[in-house]
Structure formats: structure tokens, C-alpha cells
């Protein structure tokens, strides 16, 4: 980083800012964010007394293991689907000129800024018995009677991929945008087929974006609550929904143990990528 | 050979046409839900069929005529406003400190400050719920302001940091050399230049609180029912098109805020590139797409 050079150059000058300006925010987050979350996690081993029983209960109860497995399976399928749908869009956006891509990017960001609850509700409208999807299927004659789409695992996939797609497209876009177009032109000039150019140039060079996008989507999908609770069926119990149910049943230490597992999974996935270029930038781009 | 090249070109055209088709379908998938909810909200029917049997504003009347809906909306507005002010006040100085200084553990600190964006919200929500339950603050709107600020502050930090990238610090040095106090230097030199970034962060902070459901679900109790919470309760019991009307209002609001923030972002880029003094080394230090913070 050239920041070092800047530092040296400016070291002797008077500075408007001081690192201590970060302290009010730090104190605030420590008191109202880190402490409550830490205290909650502590509860999982300290209540009703020092014990690992809460975790043992998760491991020994088939239903809870099933929920864990299901959560990972849904997050995995959603990640792959988002990658398959997001890559063509990111690639197209990165290959057209900036004016056009900025305009089309609005189409990605606009749903992104619409509330998750609104978008989930929209899928309830779309996938309902009288919804447009069923109307369309009836019209083309694919089915004789409305089929049950809402409150199925399929609905969870459709709505979750929809909500998480922008998190895949944004990091992919910024990485593919950075690939030197001359490489592809050179490969084409040397006789590579479009598929060959994709396999040997585009794919390897966009791996950092793929990694960042997949992990971002995977982590966010693991903790999804609103969407599976509203469009999923009774069997589509993801871990966040289970946590909420346990809190309502006043099984607070057990809910905390589930939360610890969820956080540990998210942190593991995060640690695998945090060092890589792209994630911070991707989150930054998505947030402004 | 010419034939081979022609067929390659045809193949390439075919590929790019296929790519455009697939991307177009994905765009449709992204926009479809929003495009469907808006017409449904103007339906004269009381079920969620499509196409709507006729045009009416009855669901908007229902929203604006009912005290519970309006109460929830005004509570969300003022909580969002308070969150916006608080997170801007906390986030702006922090972003300035983080961009301008380098100390051990700085990256870890940045990670901690933006972690509420990535951490599963349910974890934050139940942590805060247990915390407030012990303090007897469940159902207190101020508890929601405090909680939402934790989730909103990363938006301020990220946007202000972006506005500070490439900021020419010599402008501040000049002001201070001419005798301005640091306070005055900030308000007369730094603030006008980074103002678009601060405003964009503030807008995002507002909308993040205004749309927030998971924390509200636990912390709002029965006395601080926000708009998303009211929608959630309503969706679970009856899904009449009133929610489509509320959703349409929210979509319009979110689009307006998003477009304003986008315009502010462009303005901020213009302001920075219009910095009066050429500084080649700093420009090199921050190529397009450098890390945000």
C-alpha cells in the first residue's frame, strides 16, 4: 500500500484528526452491541449452571441436527444458484461501457434497497394459489389446477436467491471489471473459442470475486429469518427460525447455544475469506 | 481460414446473444416482485389475485384511515430520524479517524465496526432482547433507537470513508496555517467537501432502521410497534392488499432515498476530483477501486 509513503510525508504536519475520534463509537458499540451479544453467548454455557448440556441437547436431538443440516443445505443451494444466475449478469455489466452498466446496476441495486419484508411479501403474492406464477402455468397449460408453490422449500429458494443475488453480483462485477480486456482479445486472436476464453481466462481471473460473493451469500443465508418464516413450509425450519421459537418458549440458554453455533459457522466462513481482496470492497460497494 | 474466423465470430455473437438473454431473464427475476406488488396495491378486489379485477384506492384509504397503521408509520419515522442523527454523530468522527490514522489493530477495529452488516441479525436481536429484558426496556422506543444505531452505523462509516478517500489534506493544513482552529477548519473546509458522503450515509442509516424487522420483532414488545413489525403481524394473520399498499409506499420511499444517495455519491466524486491542487502521489496511492476503508 502506498499509504505508508503518505504517512511518512505527513507525519510532521499538524493534523486535524486524532485516532481518539473513533472512541465514542467504539464505546457505544462495546456497550450496546458487543456486550449484549457476548453476554447472550455466555448464557449458553453458564445457565442454569456451568454446563455444556445446551450443546449436548443440540447434538443428541435428531430434530435439531436436522435443522442444522437443512440450514447448511439451503445456504449451499442458494449460494450455487446465486452464482449461476449472478455470473452472467456481472459479466455482462462488466463488459459493456460504464454509462450503460451504471444504469443497469440501478436495476440490481433498487431491489437491494427495498426492504426484505416487502420483497418476501411480493413473493407470497407471486407464488400464491391465485398468484401470477400459477396463472401463467395454467395459461400455458403446464398444469390443470393451481399447484402449491407457497410454503414449500422451492419458495424459500426462489425468494432467498432473489434477496441475496445483489450480494453475489456486486463483488463479481468489481473483479470482472478489473480483468484486462486485452487478455481476452489476445486469446481470441490466437484462436480460442468463446468457451475456451471463458474457461482459461475469465474464470481463473474472477476467482477472487467468486470466492467473495459465495461466502458473503453463504454467511447471510445461514442467518436468514424473515424469508423462511414467511414463505417456507412447516418442515423448512432454518436455524434462525428455530432460535426465535426457542426464545418465545423462554428456552433462553438453549436459544443462546443455537446462536453460538450459528455465529461460529458464520465466523468460520468469514475467516476463510476475510484476508482476501474483495470482500471489504464488495461490502463497501453494496452499502453505498 | 476465413471460414473458420467467420464461424468463430458467429459463435461469439451467439454466445453474447445467449448471455444477454440469460442476463435479461435475471433482471426480470430481480424486478418482477416489485413490479407485481405495485399493481396489486391498486386492486379493487380483496384477494391477491392477478391481474387485479379493477382499480381502486381502497387499500391506501385503509392504510391512511387506520390509527394503528399510521401510528406504526410515525413511530418508524421518528425512530429512523433519531437513528440517523445518532449514527451520523458517532460514525462521522470515527470514519475520519479510521481513514486518517494508522495504528496497530486498525483493520481489526474496522472489521468490528462494520461487522453488524454481516453478522446474522437474529444473533444481535436476541442478544439485545435479553439485555433489554433485564433492564426492563423491552417495548421502549429508545431501546429500538439504540439497537438500530448499532446496525446503521456501518453505513455512515463506509460512506464517509469513501468521501474521505483522496481528500486533499493540504486544504486543512492551509486553513490551520492561516490561524483557523481545528473545529473551524472542520466546519469550513472538511465538512463542505465530505457533506455528500455524510448525507448519503445518513440516508442509508435512516432506511436501514425504517425497514428493520428482526430486532424490532423482539425489542418492540407490544408498545413500540414499528411499521415493519405491524406489517409482519398483519402478513401472518391476513394478507389483504393493505400490505401491498404499504409495500408500494415503502418501495417508493426506498427508491427515492436510494436515488438521492446515488446522486450524492456522484456529487462527492465530482467534489473530490475538482480538488484544486494536483497531487500526483496521493492520486497514485488511491487508484479507482482501492479498498473502501
pLDDT over 50 at A8, yes or no: no
A214 inside 8 A of chain B by CB: no
Cβ distance A92 to B102 less than 8 Å, yes or no, reads no
Higher pLDDT, A72 or B44: A72
Tell me how far apart the alpha carbons of residues B241 and B55 are, in angstroms, rounded to a whole number. 12
The per-residue pLDDT of chain B, averaged, comes to 84
pLDDT over 60 at A214, yes or no: yes
Contact B153, B89 (CB under 8 A): no
pLDDT in tens, A196-208: 888 888 888 888 8
Most confident of A142-156, A205-219, B197-211: B197-211
Question: Across the interface, which of B126, B157, B243 has its CB nearest the CB of A121?
Answer: B243
Closest CA to A210 of A282, A140, A152: A282
Q: What is the pLDDT of residue A162?
A: 96
pLDDT over 80 at B48, yes or no: no
Q: What is the pLDDT of residue A288?
A: 52
Domains of chain A in start order, with CATH, are: 61-286 (1.10.3720.10)
Closest CA to B77 of B85, B259, A32: B85
Inter-chain contacts counted by CB atoms under 8 A, chains A and B: 306
Question: Across the interface, which of B26, B102, B292 has its CB nearest the CB of A3?
Answer: B102
| CA nearest to B8 within chain A | A193
Closest CA to A94 of A164, A168, A178, A166: A178
Question: Across the interface, which of B101, B122, B261 has its CB nearest the CB of A223?
Answer: B122
Tell me how far apart the alpha carbons of residues B143 and A32 are, in angstroms, rounded to a whole number. 10
Q: What is the pLDDT of residue B138?
A: 94
Cβ distance A113 to B207 less than 8 Å, yes or no, reads yes
How many angstroms from the chain centroid is the CA of residue A138? 34
Q: Sort residue B166 into left (φ over 0), alpha (ψ -120 to 50) or beta.
A: left
Cβ distance B159 to A124 less than 8 Å, yes or no, reads no
The domain B58-285 is placed in CATH, from the list 3.40.50.300, 3.30.300.30, 1.10.3720.10, 3.40.1390.30, at: 1.10.3720.10
B residues 185-244 lying closer than 8 A (beta carbon) to A? 185-186, 190, 200-201, 204, 207, 211, 213-214, 217-218, 228, 231-232, 235-236, 239, 243-244
Chain A CB contacts of B177 below 8 Å: 14
Indicate the pLDDT class of residue A1, thresholds 50, 70 and 90.
very low
pLDDT over 70 at B258, yes or no: yes
| CA nearest to B198 within chain A | A288
pLDDT over 60 at A239, yes or no: yes
Q: Percentage of residues in chain B with pLDDT exceeding 70?
A: 85
Q: What is the pLDDT of residue B284?
A: 35
Q: What is the pLDDT of residue A13?
A: 53
pLDDT over 50 at A145, yes or no: yes
pLDDT over 60 at A75, yes or no: yes
Regarding an ipTM greater than 0.95, the answer is no
The residue ranges of every structural domain in chain B are: 58-285
DSSP one-letter string for A197-217? HIIIIIHHHTHHHHHHHHHHH
pLDDT over 80 at A285, yes or no: no
pLDDT in tens, A14-54: 566 778 889 999 999 999 999 999 999 998 888 777 888 88
Cell (9 digits) for A87? 455470473
pLDDT over 80 at A10, yes or no: no
Lowest mean pLDDT among A156-160, A245-249, B120-124, B271-275: B271-275
Lowest mean pLDDT among B3-12, B139-148, B207-216: B3-12
pLDDT in tens, B125-178: 999 999 999 999 999 999 999 999 999 999 999 999 988 887 888 888 888 889
Taking the CA of residue B180 and the nearest CA in chain A, the distance in Å comes to 11
A80 inside 8 A of chain B by CB: no
Cβ distance B30 to A111 less than 8 Å, yes or no, reads yes
From residue A251, give the alpha-carbon distance in Å to each of A55, A261, B2, B7, B216.
13, 16, 74, 67, 20
Tell me how far apart the alpha carbons of residues A264 and B240 are, in angstroms, rounded to a whole number. 40
Q: What is the pLDDT of residue B151?
A: 96
Q: What is the pLDDT of residue B290?
A: 34
pLDDT over 90 at B262, yes or no: no
pLDDT over 70 at B114, yes or no: yes
Indicate the pLDDT class of residue B218, thresholds 50, 70 and 90.
very high
pLDDT over 80 at B281, yes or no: no
SS3 B43: strand
Question: Across the interface, which of B162, B177, B284 has its CB nearest the CB of A2?
Answer: B284
pLDDT in tens, A163-195: 999 999 998 998 898 888 888 888 888 888 878
Q: What is the pLDDT of residue A238?
A: 94
Q: Percentage of residues in chain A with pLDDT exceeding 90?
A: 41
B residues 98-117 lying closer than 8 A (beta carbon) to A? 98, 100-103, 109-114, 116-117
How many angstroms from the chain centroid is the CA of residue A270? 11
To the question of pTM greater than 0.90 for the whole model, the response is no
Q: What is the pLDDT of residue A68?
A: 92
Chain B CB contacts of A110 below 8 Å: 31, 34, 254-255, 258
Cβ distance B111 to A225 less than 8 Å, yes or no, reads no
DSSP letter assigned to residue B51:
S
Average confidence (pLDDT) over B69-96:
96
Q: What is the pLDDT of residue B286?
A: 34
Taking the CA of residue A92 and the nearest CA in chain B, the distance in Å comes to 7
The per-residue pLDDT of chain A, averaged, comes to 85
Amino acid at each position: 500500500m502506498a499509504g505508508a509513503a503518505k504517512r511518512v510525508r505527513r507525519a510532521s504536519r499538524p493534523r486535524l484528526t486524532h485516532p481518539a475520534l473513533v472512541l465514542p463509537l467504539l464505546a457505544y458499540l462495546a456497550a450496546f452491541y458487543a456486550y449484549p451479544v457476548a453476554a447472550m453467548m455466555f448464557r449458553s454455557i453458564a445457565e442454569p449452571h456451568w454446563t455444556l448440556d445446551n450443546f449436548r441437547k443440540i447434538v443428541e436431538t435428531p430434530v435439531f441436527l436436522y435443522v442444522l443440516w437443512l440450514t447448511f443445505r439451503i445456504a449451499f443451494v442458494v449460494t450455487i444458484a446465486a452464482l449461476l444466475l449472478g455470473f452472467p449478469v456481472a459479466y455482462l455489466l462488466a463488459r459493456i461501457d460504464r454509462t450503460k452498466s451504471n444504469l443497469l446496476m440501478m436495476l440490481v441495486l433498487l431491489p437491494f434497497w427495498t426492504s426484505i419484508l416487502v420483497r418476501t411479501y411480493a413473493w407470497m403474492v407471486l407464488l400464491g394459489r391465485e398468484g401470477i406464477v400459477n396463472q401463467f402455468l395454467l395459461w400455458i397449460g403446464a398444469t390443470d389446477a393451481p399447484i402449491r408453490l407457497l410454503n414449500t422449500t422451492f419458495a424459500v429458494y426462489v425468494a432467498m436467491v432473489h434477496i441475496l443475488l445483489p450480494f453475489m453480483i456486486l463483488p463479481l462485477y468489481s473483479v470482472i471489471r478489473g480483468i484486462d480486456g486485452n487478455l481476452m482479445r489476445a486469446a481470441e486472436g490466437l484462436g480460442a473459442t468463446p468457451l475456451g476464453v471463458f474457461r482459461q481466462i475469465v474464470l481463473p481471473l474472477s476467482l477472487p470475486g467468486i470466492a467473495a460473493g459465495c461466502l458473503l451469500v453463504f454467511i447471510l443465508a445461514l442467518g436468514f429469518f424473515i424469508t423462511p418464516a414467511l414463505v417456507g413450509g412447516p418442515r423448512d425450519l432454518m436455524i434462525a427460525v428455530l432460535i426465535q421459537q426457542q426464545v418465545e418458549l423462554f428456552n433462553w440458554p438453549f436459544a443462546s447455544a443455537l446462536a453460538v453455533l450459528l455465529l461460529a459457522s458464520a465466523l468460520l466462513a468469514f475467516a476463510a475469506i476475510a484476508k482476501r481482496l474483495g470482500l471489504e470492497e464488495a461490502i463497501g460497494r453494496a452499502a453505498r | 481460414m476465413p471460414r473458420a474466423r467467420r464461424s468463430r465470430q458467429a459463435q461469439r455473437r451467439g454466445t453474447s446473444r445467449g448471455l444477454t438473454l440469460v442476463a435479461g431473464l435475471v433482471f426480470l427475476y430481480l424486478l418482477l416482485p416489485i413490479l407485481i406488488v405495485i399493481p396489486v396495491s391498486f386492486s379493487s378486489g380483496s384477494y391477491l389475485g392477478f391481474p387485479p379485477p379493477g382499480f381502486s384506492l381502497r387499500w391506501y384509504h385503509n392504510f391512511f384511515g387506520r390509527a394503528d397503521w399510521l401510528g406504526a408509520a410515525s413511530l418508524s419515522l421518528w425512530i429512523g430520524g433519531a437513528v440517523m442523527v445518532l449514527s451520523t454523530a458517532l460514525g462521522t468522527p470515527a470514519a475520519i479517524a479510521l481513514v486518517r490514522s494508522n495504528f496497530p489493530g486498525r483493520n481489526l477495529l474496522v472489521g468490528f465496526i462494520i461487522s453488524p452488516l454481516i453478522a446474522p441479525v437474529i444473533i444481535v436481536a436476541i442478544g439485545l432482547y435479553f439485555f433489554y429484558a433485564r433492564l426492563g426496556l423491552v417495548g421502549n422506543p429508545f431501546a429500538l433507537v439504540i439497537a438500530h444505531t448499532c446496525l446503521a452505523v456501518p453505513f455512515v462509516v463506509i460512506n464517509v470513508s469513501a468521501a474521505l478517500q483522496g481528500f486533499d489534506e493540504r486544504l486543512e493544513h492551509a486553513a490551520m496555517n492561516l490561524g483557523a482552529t481545528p473545529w473551524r477548519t472542520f466546519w469550513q473546509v472538511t465538512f463542505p467537501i465530505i457533506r455528500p458522503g455524510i448525507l448519503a450515509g445518513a440516508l442509508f442509516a435512516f432506511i436501514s432502521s425504517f425497514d428493520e424487522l428482526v430486532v424490532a420483532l423482539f425489542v418492540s414488545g407490544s408498545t413500540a410497534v414499528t411499521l415493519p413489525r405491524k406489517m409482519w403481524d398483519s402478513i401472518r394473520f391476513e394478507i389483504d392488499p393493505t400490505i401491498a399498499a404499504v409495500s408500494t409506499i415503502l418501495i417508493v420511499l426506498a427508491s427515492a432515498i436510494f436515488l438521492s444517495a446515488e446522486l450524492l455519491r456522484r456529487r462527492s466524486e465530482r467534489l473530490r476530483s475538482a480538488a484544486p491542487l494536483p497531487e500526483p502521489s496521493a492520486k497514485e496511492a488511491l487508484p479507482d477501486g482501492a479498498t473502501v476503508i
